[in-house]
């Protein structure tokens, strides 16, 4: 039902990723569509049917995760979680990063998985209306954030990102749901540059 609902709404997305250097020069490293996953249909169905949270604020797309275990095989509508999300505040912000980070649970297959996860928050001023049907979400990983990541003692590269709706069930703590996903080629994040993700969704 939620997949059909999502198809009827014809929600589309596009993601551009750029490296940003200290002199403000930008280098585009990715520019392509993204996958709107079934969680978008679940979130919208909850909102329209008033079957979840009673607060409209809980249906905002206001957080994200980046990860290190992405693959093109996960670019399917049924994907409902980031495969290798950053696992701590330190991994997101390092010693001096500016990302706002919060913890919460997660909705998967319409059930709340009560394992605490970390999410980056998207500031309201980074959520802009482009036209009557399109909203752009700008996520900035500054020069000090997400640097020199490792997994099991080995270098780990950023290669996946997801957008989340805040809290469709209305519970405490919040339980976001993945609504859009994209795999991209490995980026070894260091303090030499920031990364800016410009993610546009059209409804």
Helix (H, G, I), strand (E, B) or coil at 19: strand
Helix (H, G, I), strand (E, B) or coil at 56: helix
User: What digits encode the pLDDT tens for the residues 129-158?
Assistant: 999 899 999 999 999 999 999 999 999 999
Q: How far lies 177's CA from each of 16, 73, 110, 133, 186, in Å?
A: 22, 20, 9, 22, 25
Torsion (CA) 27, 32, 38, 41 in degrees, nearest 10 = 90
Distance CA 202, CA 184 (A): 21
Q: Domain boundaries in the chain?
A: 2-202
Average per-residue pLDDT in the chain? 93
User: What digits encode the pLDDT tens for the residues 160-187?
Assistant: 999 999 999 999 999 999 999 999 999 9
Q: Say which residues have a Cβ less than 8 Å from residue 11's Cβ, sequence separation at least 6.
A: 36, 40, 201, 202, 203
Residue 43: exposure state from Cβ atoms within 10 A (0-12, 13-18, ≥19): buried
CB atoms within 10 A of CB 150: 10
Residue 1: pLDDT band (50, 70, 90) is very low
More confident residue, 34 or 85: 85
């Amino acid at each position: 039902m939620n997949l059909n609902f999502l198809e009827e709404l014809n929600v589309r997305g596009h993601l551009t990723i750029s490296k940003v250097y200290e002199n403000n020069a930008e280098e585009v490293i990715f520019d392509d569509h993204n996958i709107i996953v079934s969680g978008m249909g679940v979130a919208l169905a909850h909102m329209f049917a008033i079957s979840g949270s009673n607060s409209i604020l809980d249906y905002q797309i206001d957080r994200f995760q980046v990860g290190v275990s992405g693959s093109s095989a996960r670019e399917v509508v049924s994907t409902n979680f980031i495969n290798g999300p950053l696992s701590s505040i330190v991994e997101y912000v390092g010693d001096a990063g500016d990302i706002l980070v919060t913890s919460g649970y997660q909705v998967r297959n319409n059930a709340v998985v009560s394992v605490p996860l970390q999410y980056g928050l998207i500031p309201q001023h980074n959520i802009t209306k482009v036209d009557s049907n399109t909203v752009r979400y700008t996520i900035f990983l500054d020069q000090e954030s997400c640097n020199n990541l490792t997994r099991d003692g080995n270098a780990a590269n950023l290669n996946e990102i997801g957008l989340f709706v805040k809290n469709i069930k209305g519970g405490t703590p919040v339980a976001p749901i993945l609504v859009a996903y994209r795999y991209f080629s490995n980026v070894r994040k260091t303090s030499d540059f920031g990364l800016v993700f410009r993610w546009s969704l059209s409804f």
